[in-house]
Chains A and B, each alone.
Chain A
């Protein structure tokens, strides 16, 4: 098992490199390029631009630039004034050492800014996924076990609807109903807040936090519950019709144990894998909800960065996002191999 994990980790490395090359190439064909921000400055002279270009390594071919981006240039001698004599060393450490460069918007390093926003996103999306699991798993099981019952038909219909509702529109409608529409009968204010993580200026209160979570979490929950419960229902149905379930009954086992010991164990394997594969959503899927509910997370930061074409920031988030996705896929494989004895490690 250990060997298997190591081997899979090693396989993930070329994948990440491939993704980074792709992103790097893409951002570099973008018009303007990394220096366009400086050109807006009035103090910029042609010589200064040239020297900056050399300092950033932009005079070099794209392949060298990629290596600099990846591994930095603090070990490279640089000829800043273009007289043919190297006169200083670069200042960049490279992505491999956590240097994603500086944000164009505020000239601050990218990584600390991402790390600063990340917890807010994980807080919101993590809670969303937990709520999704709590609702979707029992629903999926019950509707499979009671296939074609009124409950199952209702759930199936609702899940079709849930998968067809655009998330952002659902958010708008929720705001329309619970923030704009309904008022709290006692205070006369809106029933639920329409944005933010907490009431600004007020003291910490759990109730206040929860009130701020209800709408954004609900917005995220609907589509995911629809998708996971449907997924679990169909994998459960597949398992329920397997021969070994009949064997368990033929032994005289009661229905509850047939379900929990024999069916669920098999049906949860694909679901757990599925959850692992969907997990990066915690990291990458928050743009819409954060935008709609003014949530100070990474998604909103990405949105702002895209609006102002802050490429280092965009690159940083995308690379980290891909890393999370690749690692989650890897985790999914490992968990699968662990749960299902039929999978061999070689």
Chain B
């Protein structure tokens, strides 16, 4: 197993989160392992629908019916979050771990002012009087770069732009100076300049407060810029993880390579993953072997037959660099070309 330090803040092992829908069991997260160090930014990348948000919600213990965490361990410090009673989880949420969501505007309650929604965090976790809560909320809004925070605190979410709403969400997430911040595509809904500002803001806050961040995105550019450590997700599983430099320098998994090859070159926008044919498989009935096999060109090139039979394990094949692919593993019926 990949271990880039022994002082983990968060350690996830064998996490499986399934949705029991009318049309079958959706294996949204199907055996995920990763670690997050204190003060570190972990980038979690993957195509839409590969289970990034569900992983994040699982950490927060926010999976609701028809979903269920069926297996795995989520260690935060010394406790397994899965075993904690609800009151203790509520004590941690918004306080020691907080999360900001993909859609800032729908994530704010439309009938409550943003100031009140922000102050609610203090109401839950801090022992402050109303005046102090109000002051701290305004101060936080100022910190996250909202102009005229006194006035904006009285505004309703629909009166704010997407960027402003996301700043409010970030303010909410940082209110209690959490040890871990999970940011689920914090910039996807925003336009490019606002995107850069929000990312800068998050990096600054990490530097000042020492907050660890799980940054979820499908934008590798953002990862390259922000992350210390990267986990690549495909169809509910981590297929590769490494430090940001080795990952971009020497991507191992065919999927990661495809992703990196399809990073848009400046001035040109690509909406499809040009280098990877096909689509994410249906998570209800996944292929028997490697989840990526139907789309994998390397498999054909090297003529691996095992790929369609058995799903490889995630294996650390170099120090601090793990990959889930037969190309780098010994199997009984073939000798894989190690590190091609």
User: Please, what's the 1-or-0 string for B133-175, where 1 marks a CB less than 8 Å from any CB in chain A?
Assistant: 0000000000000000000000010100000000001001000
Contacts of A340 in B (CB 8 A): 110-111
CB atoms of B108 and A247 under 8 A apart:
yes
Q: Give the docked Cα–Cα distance between A262 and B110 (Å).
A: 9
B309 within 8 A of A: no
User: Please, what's the 1-or-0 string for B100-123, where 1 marks a CB less than 8 Å from any CB in chain A?
Assistant: 010100111111100000001100
CB atoms of B121 and A246 under 8 A apart:
no
Number of B residues with CB within 8 Å of any CB on chain A: 31
A275 within 8 A of B: no
CB atoms of B124 and A253 under 8 A apart:
yes
Q: Give residues 66-108 of B contacting A (CB, 8 Å).
A: 86-87, 90-95, 98-99, 101, 103, 106-108
Q: Give the docked Cα–Cα distance between A251 and B109 (Å).
A: 13
A209 within 8 A of B: no
B94, B109, B125: the one contacting A266 at CB < 8 Å is: B109
Contacts of B65 in A (CB 8 A): 147-148
B95, B107, B111, B112: the one contacting A243 at CB < 8 Å is: B107
CB atoms of A252 and B125 under 8 A apart:
yes
User: Please, what's the 1-or-0 string for A231-256, where 1 marks a CB less than 8 Å from any CB in chain B?
Assistant: 00000000000111011111111110
A95 within 8 A of B: no
Number of A residues with CB within 8 Å of any CB on chain B: 24
CB atoms of A252 and B93 under 8 A apart:
yes
A246, A253, A339, A341: the one contacting B101 at CB < 8 Å is: A246
B245 within 8 A of A: no
Q: Give the docked Cα–Cα distance between A244 and B110 (Å).
A: 8
Q: Give the docked Cα–Cα distance between A246 and B57 (Å).
A: 10
CB atoms of B156 and A242 under 8 A apart:
no
A252-B106 CB under 8 A given contacts A246-B101, A339-B111, A341-B111: no
Q: Give residues 292-330 of A contacting B (CB, 8 Å).
A: none
B91, B103, B112: the one contacting A252 at CB < 8 Å is: B91
CB distance from A149 to the nearest CB of B (A): 11
B196 within 8 A of A: no
CB atoms of A265 and B92 under 8 A apart:
no
User: Please, what's the 1-or-0 string for A249-283, where 1 marks a CB less than 8 Å from any CB in chain B?
Assistant: 11111110000011001100100000000000000
CB distance from A283 to the nearest CB of B (A): 31
A342 within 8 A of B: yes
12 residue pairs from A and B, CB less than 8 Å apart? A244-B109, A247-B101, A247-B107, A250-B62, A250-B94, A251-B93, A251-B121, A252-B91, A252-B121, A253-B94, A253-B124, A341-B158
Binding site for A on B (CB under 8 A): 57, 60, 62, 65, 86-87, 90-95, 98-99, 101, 103, 106-112, 120-121, 124-125, 156, 158, 169, 172
Q: Which 5 A-B pairs have the closest CB atoms?
A: A251-B94, A252-B94, A252-B93, A243-B106, A244-B109
